[in-house]
Amino acid sequence: MNGGIVVDIIIILLALLFAINGHRQGFIVGALTFAGFFGGALLGVRLAPVIVELSQEPLARVILALATVFGLALFGQWLASALGLRLRRRIKRRGVRRLDEAGGTLVSILAVLLVAWMVAAPLASSGLPGVSAAVRNSAIVGAVDETMPDPVRGIYEALRDSVNTNGFPDVFAGLDPSDIQPVDPPDPELAASAVVQAAQVSVLKVSGDAPQCDRHIEGSSFVFDHELVMTNAHVVAGTETVSVATEDGQLEARVIVYDPQRDLAVLWVPGLTAPPLPLTDSPAESGENTIVLGYPQGGPYTATPSRIREERNVTGPNIYNSADVTREVYSLRARVISGNSGGPLLSESGEVYGVIFAAAVDDDETGYALTMAEAYPVMDQGRATTAAVSTQGCS
């Protein structure tokens, strides 16, 4: 059975149970209980991003986040419920009692829907593909998410970001499931091709320090012109020092273009002798074999076979979740993980088709690359300057 259907069935059963309880406790108790629960949850949302830093394990972070939010929510509910019971005892007239009971039923159902959405917000970005897919495929959660006003949705962005451990920014807005075009598995022999060996000297590991968020970052990049390297903006976000690992050793790099909308950045690396990778204007075709190059999880140079699912325009948040942006991307059948960010997507002949920047949170065989239509304007900016620019804040 589809995971989304299971989630919907659970929500419906909970709504029925709470409706019965809400009829019994009435509107006054229900409304105050709801207010106490929601108020406690809001406090929990503020505290959860701090609490989850106690662990880097995806499951542990989810448990810590939910325990913080719902522990405080239940405490607020208990306090408000006690007050509501005292007030309800003062209602004596039967007609008013019936209205109170009907209102209690409605409030309880609404409370279940809100709680379901509150749980879904962190789970949808949990880095646990099976759980994330089930939540994102829930029709009820999706409908509630669409009705949520932006200020309320914004409250949960920090919580979602703190639970998200896959190392990538969100590609899509909201809790919609990833739209995945089926294609055949990629050719595993590509990982050992001559193209992979030839490109290694030009695919560089990026390292940086971001003191403002007490973070050391690592990602991937590639040479596209003399002493010029492209990576993702989220890889160098908030950094004060950046360097790249080359065959000649570690070289200092300067961020000269920083585009948090596209999620691209250009580094100038004085003294870099690695040759640029060949670029192409030709778009990749659906079903075409490609290769993801980079340093997943900060490890050694790795080639991951991939296949183009489709090219599409995608609207989603920028790396700071401060505005929506539409970008042209390739959806890939590939295992793209943290550390691949900023690496090149190569054709079988060794030309750069795009820049790896994200992975689906609900499918571990789907990754995303920005097309060259997105990369070329940023590359041109890099060719025109060597001046350092701000990397703003951590993403």
Gap between the Cα atoms of 304 and 186, Å rounded? 9
Active site residue 202: no
Active site residue 341: yes
DSSP 108: H
What is the rounded (10 degree) CA torsion for 320, 324, 325, 331?
90
Gap between the Cα atoms of 230 and 4, Å rounded? 39
- Intra-chain end-to-end CA distance of the chain, in Å: 37
Whether 267 contacts 229, CB under 8 Å: yes
DSSP 384: T
Active site residue 8: no
Q: What share of the chain is helix, strand, coil (3-state, %, to 5)?
A: 45, 25, 30
Neighbour count for residue 175 (Cβ, 10 Å):
25
Gap between the Cα atoms of 187 and 333, Å rounded? 11
Buried-exposed string 340-377: b where 16+ CB fall within 10 A, e elsewhere: bbbbbbbbeebbbbbbbbbbbbbbbbbbbbbbbebbee
Whether 62 contacts 120, CB under 8 Å: no
Gap between the Cα atoms of 277 and 265, Å rounded? 17
- The catalytic position among 8, 207, 220, 234 is 234
Gap between the Cα atoms of 347 and 372, Å rounded? 13
- The catalytic position among 100, 263, 362, 364 is 263
Q: What is the DSSP string of 341-370?
A: TT-EEEETTS-EEEEEEEE-SS-TTEEEEE
- Chain-centre distance for alpha carbon 121: 11
- φ/ψ of 322, rounded to 5, equals -100, -15
Q: What is the maximum alpha-carbon separation in the chain?
A: 87
Helix (H) or strand (E) holding 70: helix 58-88
DSSP 90: T
Q: Which residues are catalytic?
A: 234, 263, 341
